[in-house]
Structure 1
Amino acid sequence: MSTPFYVSPQQAMADRAEYARKGIARGRSVVVLQYADGIVFVAENPSRALHKVSEIYDRIAFAAVGKYNEFENLRIGGVRYADLRGFTYDREDVTARGLANVYAQTLGTIFSSVGEKPYEVELIVAEVGSAPEDDQIYRLPHDGSIVDEHGAVAVGGNSDQIGSYLDQRHRDGMTLAEALALAVESLGRDTNGSDRQLTAEQLEVAVLDRTRPQQRKFKRILGRQLARLMETESASTAKTDEPSDEEE
């Protein structure tokens, strides 16, 4: 009788984590930033049918990278959870923290299960508050852990380099145009050090805007509005860079 092949639990979990990380890194990144009036989501995504950023509930949005079918199943489950909880109790009882806990339990169970492969996804759940200090942003890696983020966060692809770039340049009180410009700049940075110029057609952009009078704060920024925002900030930057008449 042959001896069964043995793999230590630590090695098995490390292999599963490496498998999931490699799958996530193959996807294009998503960036989430706080700005003066809310939270902006920017993804490099030329598809107009397969969204990486979606609304979950009144003040809550969801962003994801990795395998589309896996994070789409999670998104649908989150919408059902939010609708059921809001209907059973109160709309105010649906929070990003509660949704993040549900996702964490699901991802953690799948990651530790021997019978199925880990999900190759990384999620962001964000909720806009009545003031900037009330905003909530949670990042959920493949293993189901929860990371409370502030200011700016990047997931997928070259997220480490993009996140470092954002941390150095993001500041409180940015306008939407400034936050969008910073997000686009960070997404255009390649690992080889060169910069790509991303166009509006290559981007998926949405906001949670606390100033909207509607109960639902989620809004997609598309077409001419997106192009106009990008042009506005480009023109402002160019004007700032121009030397004044007094300079020699």
Structure 2
Amino acid sequence: MALPYYVSPEQMMQDKAEYARKGIAKGKSIIVLEYADGMLLMAENPSASLNKISEIYDRIAFAGAGRYSEFENLRKAGIRYADMKGFAYDREDVTAKSLANAYSQTIGNVFSEAMKPLEVEILVVEVADGGLPNEVYRIAFDGSIGDEKGFAAIGGQAEELRLHLKDSYEAGLDQKAALRLATQALEAVSSAKVKPQSLEVAVLERSRIGRKFRRLSHNDLMAILTNTD
């Protein structure tokens, strides 16, 4: 009788991690930058119909890199979670931290128990009211969660982007300066000019009445990026 094939738990986890990293590395990068009056989210995304950046709740946004179908399912699950919690308790009880913890548990369970891990990395971003700190959480393919400050990056060139932003980011940027810095970072790591038509950009504006999420059109991007004032 043939003996069953054996793989040590350590080797299995290493193989899963390597598989997930390779899948995420194929995806385009996403940057989040904190600026004076909110949060900027920018993704390399030439597709006009498949969004990588989305609103989750009143002041919370979601960004996903990696396999689209997988992070899209996570986005929808996050919206359902937020709506149910806000309805059952209070809208103020829906926070980026609670969403990030829920995502961390879901993604971590898949990584530990399923044969194939999720090939995703996600960001959950919340703009705070005056005086309170904004929140940015990065959830990796294994469910590990990181609390980012000032800026964050995920996707294929995330490490290079983080190194670039570490040297060039300054607190207190206005929205236009943040947009230009994020674009420059993408161009620096790819060594190519980034066209506004290939970008997906949204902001969480603290001063905006009601829901804080707003998308920037390609015309908006063109006007800002080509204006050197």
Does residue 231 in structure 1 map to residue 226 in structure 2? Answer: yes
Cα distance in 1 between the residues matched to 2:24 and 2:184: 21
User: Offset at 1:228?
Assistant: 1.2
CA shift digits 1:210-235 (9 cap, x unpaired)? 0112x200000003222112123xx1
Report the 3-state secondary structure (helix = DSSP H, G, I; strand = E; otherwise coil) of the residue aligned with 1:40: strand
Amino acid in structure 2 at the alignment position of 1:197: K
Aligned partner of 2:149 in structure 1 is: 150
Aligned to 1:66: 66
Moved more, 135-144 or 221-230: 221-230
- 1:199 is aligned with what amino acid? K
Question: Partner residue of 2:133?
Answer: 134
Deviation at 1:72, TM superposition (A): 0.4
2:185 match: 186
**Other-structure match for 1:243:** none
Once the two structures are overlaid, the 10-residue window that deviates more, 131-140 or 76-85, is 131-140
The residue identity in structure 2 corresponding to 1:222 is S
Q: What does residue 220 of structure 1 align with?
A: 215
Bigger Rg, structure 1 or 2: 1
CA distance in 2 between partners of 1:231 and 1:26 (Å): 29
Deviation (angstroms), 1:134:
1.6
Contact 1:37 1:132 in 2 (8 A): no
**Identical-residue share of aligned pairs (%):** 50
Name the SS for the 1:124 alignment partner: strand
> 2:49 — aligned with what?
49
Task: State which drifts further: 179-188 or 26-35.
Answer: 179-188
Q: CA deviation at 1:48?
A: 1.2
Contact conserved, 1:64 with 1:123, CA < 8 A, in 2?
yes
Supply the distance in 1 between the matched residues of 2:144 and 2:5 (Cα, whole angstroms). 30
Q: Distance in 1 between matches of 2:138 and 2:132?
A: 18
Gaps of 5+ in 1: 237-248
How many Å separate the matches in 1 of 2:11 and 2:205? Answer: 45
Match of 2:16 in 1: 16
Following the alignment from structure 1 to structure 2, what is the Cα–Cα distance between the partners of residues 190 and 147?
23
Residues 195-210 of structure 1 aligned to structure 2 (within 5 Å): 195-210=191-206
Equivalent-residue separation in structure 2 for 1:102 and 1:30 (angstroms) = 21
Inter-partner Cα distance in structure 1 for 2:198 and 2:188: 14
- Partner residue, 1:37: 37
Q: What SS is found at the alignment partner of 2:180?
A: helix
Residue 177, structure 1, aligned to residue 167, structure 2: no
- Give the superposition deviation at 1:164: 0.3
1:70-95 deviation per Cα after TM superposition (whole angstroms, max 9, x unaligned):
00000000000101111111100000
1:133 shift after superposition: 4.7
Aligned partners of 1:175 and 1:123: how far apart in 2?
A: 25
- Classify 1:30/1:93 alpha carbon distance in 2 versus 1 (closer, same or farther; 3 Å): same
CA distance in structure 2 between the partners assigned to 1:208 and 1:75 by the alignment = 17
- Measure how far apart 1:132 and its partner are: 6.5
TM-score (normalizing by structure 2): 0.97
Q: Contact 1:188/1:197 (CA < 8 Å) preserved in 2? A: yes
- Per-residue deviation, 1:5: 1.9
Tell me, which stretches of 5 or more residues in structure 2 are unaligned? none
State the number of aligned residues: 229
With the length of structure 1 as denominator, give the TM-score of the two structures. 0.90
SS in 2 for 1:134: coil
Whether the 8 Å contact between 1:41 and 1:205 is mirrored in structure 2 is yes
Change (3 A) 1:132 1:28: farther
